[in-house]
Chains A and B, each alone.
Chain A
């Protein structure tokens, strides 16, 4: 379970995240939705322990920057960054050793199959297209079998089949009891999979919607524009 309490993040004088609090329960998919510059990526990076902030963030009751939290936290950044000189297979091997994973190979092969990477595992990071890099980045985030996983704009650069697989993966992670947090600014990409939507604007969570609250998915768009001030 992910718990974010009163998190504030400033870049110099700019308030990027303002007293944000929310929780993502076990087996729940939460989506951070918001316009560009709303603070979605910033809060995701705070949770991943990549930024300094004021407030409290807990991953399964462990402080997010501690070793115990890191063991169970997966993160897929908005821009895939792979090591130039390592192959796809070696990326997975590296992560597996760094996280002291056991029996990961079968799962790795399964992920390679799903994302059409099986015949490219000997390709170097620098030889891959952006979309391919994103797929590897997803595999690196998921391979640790996290209890909490963060996806920052995960669909960007992916082909339709990969998007379909990724959506299925979200649901599988949820079924395994993983807390999934997805950040996006494209509403259509998360239809069907979400349990909770947190709409962010100007560093704040301005609205929280649960699936029970709405009847039709088109309502999300209406609610989004209503609270972010954008014209439909």
Chain B
């Protein structure tokens, strides 16, 4: 056991030392930590800071939807093998004379550490949500504890399911059928409601907030726990927390008693995990780096110099699928169309709402961009072209994607809602330029913090950037609107600010294409 404690403590020490060597990253983490801790300490007592703008039913259904989504994704992905371990653990610990149970605890502690940053991000979002949705005091802790319980229980269940599935080949398809069958059964009531009422949104909310769903083990319990953000620490929240905790302990004991049997499962899971990490380090999506199949597409390189990078990216995207429409664009477009069709309010207000929500989602739903993958190869640095041209060529696909996304997400909503063309165009350009500025801000984050700290700091930097954009553009936009009563002119302000920021970020980001070593 002392060897395991040694690894954990040394790893922690070395991580901190590594951070100290990168002061920029350290400062950013300290700011994140302060943003998380200070609102919790000074966030006021007892009362809600704003009236709840979201009804209990809607909140309940949002939580249920989120839990079901995360749970299903996690369980389905665990069928490839799930693991708390890295290859070094497998090679050095699994073969060492250490009790298997201890190794499992060690892996579990490591897993908790990994999820800690996500938990911190939830905490960082809490003041926003508290203001917007009127959450109860202490809701941040409820969110974090629920999140930790959710990821812990899904990991454990993943291990148990995989250990069951891996014993016989026919079990995999059987378990898959059960999972997909359960999903269909779960959404049948929504379909029935839609047929009866014709209202998509209402049907989803009615089912997901259904009172009986609280009796669905784990998912229903977690939903009720999460409702503690509104109700405070009620007896119900405590009961469902205890039930979830008991399930976690039972699952842990079960895995613990598997002894070294879990080694084999962990080995497969770890190999998969390593492949995922490798793909992630190279800026690829998990699928593209691990099990993606490529279409046969005829290459036709016609562009020369730095533009060959652009053409290569298009070729790669054509092989992966329809390159013009990334997953995020499809999701946001569908959501935007549903909102435009189902919400009954003034068209301009709905458009502004869609623009705001889509811009917020853009922060979180990061699009994997090809430049991140390209800068992990030496070719891009050796190509005889100016770094600025290479930067433009490597990011061009992302810019084109943003244009298409802006037209689809905002433009189509504008057409459905029949808002004035000038307003729709301004909204489209405000959205596109925000997407483009975020795209180029990623270059700056990568240049400042490197790829190791990129994932967490990117979201932080994006939030910070959005605050800057809002601060710089809201006042002029409001002044313009008050002066002209013209939404279209008012929306031009963020467009101009975003364009100016984009140029600055392009200038800073060019350094990434000079050398793989950060200056």
Contact = CB atoms under 8 A, between A and B. Distances in A.
A52 B385 contact: no
B329 interface: no
Interface stretch (A25-33, A67-75, A186-194): A67-75
B450 interface: no
Given A85-B316, A93-B301, A97-B303, A73 B382 contact: yes
B320 A85 contact: yes
B376 interface: yes
B326 interface: no
Interface string A86-110: 1101100111111110000000000
B311 A97 contact: yes
B86 interface: no
B21 interface: yes
B384 A67 contact: yes
Interface stretch (A76-84, A166-174, A203-211, A215-223): A76-84
Contacts of A65: 514-515
A98 B309 contact: yes
A15 B315 CA distance: 42
A75 B316 CA distance: 23
Nearest to B317: A85
B299 A51 contact: no
A82 to B, nearest CB: 8
A85 B378 contact: no
Contacts of B386: 67
B306 A50 contact: no
A84 B288 contact: yes
Contacts of B515: 49-52, 65
Contacts of A229: none
Nearest to A77: B378
A140 to B, nearest CB: 7
A81 B376 CA distance: 9
A50 B383 CA distance: 12
B294 interface: yes
B420 interface: no
B275 to A, nearest CB: 11
Contacts of B384: 67-68, 70-71, 98-100
A86 B378 contact: no
Contacts of A48: 378, 381-382
Contacts of B315: 85-86, 90
Contact of A97 (B284, B301, B382, B514): B301
Nearest to B307: A97
B382 A75 contact: yes
A35 to B, nearest CB: 24
A50 B378 contact: yes
Contacts of B377: 81, 83
Given A50-B381, A68-B384, A85 B294 contact: yes
B299 A90 contact: yes
A12 interface: yes
A8 to B, nearest CB: 14
A89 B299 contact: yes
A128 interface: no
A50 B301 contact: no
Given A81-B377, A84-B284, A84-B289, A98 B514 contact: no
Contacts of B379: 94-95, 98, 140
B308 interface: yes
Contact of A75 (B21, B288, B378): B378
Interface of B: 21, 284, 288-289, 292, 294, 299, 301-306, 308-309, 311-312, 315-316, 319-320, 376-379, 381-386, 514-517, 519
Given A49-B382, A97-B303, 10 more contacts: A51-B517, A71-B384, A83-B312, A83-B377, A94-B379, A96-B301, A98-B306, A98-B309, A98-B384, A100-B304
21 contacts: A12-B21, A49-B382, A51-B516, A52-B517, A68-B384, A75-B382, A81-B376, A86-B316, A90-B301, A94-B301, A94-B312, A96-B301, A97-B301, A97-B302, A97-B303, A98-B304, A98-B308, A98-B309, A100-B304, A100-B305, A124-B294
Interface of A: 12, 48-52, 65, 67-68, 70-71, 73, 75, 77, 81, 83-87, 89-90, 93-100, 124, 140
User: Top 7 nearest A-B pairs by Cβ distance?
Assistant: A70-B384, A97-B308, A98-B308, A85-B316, A71-B384, A97-B301, A98-B383
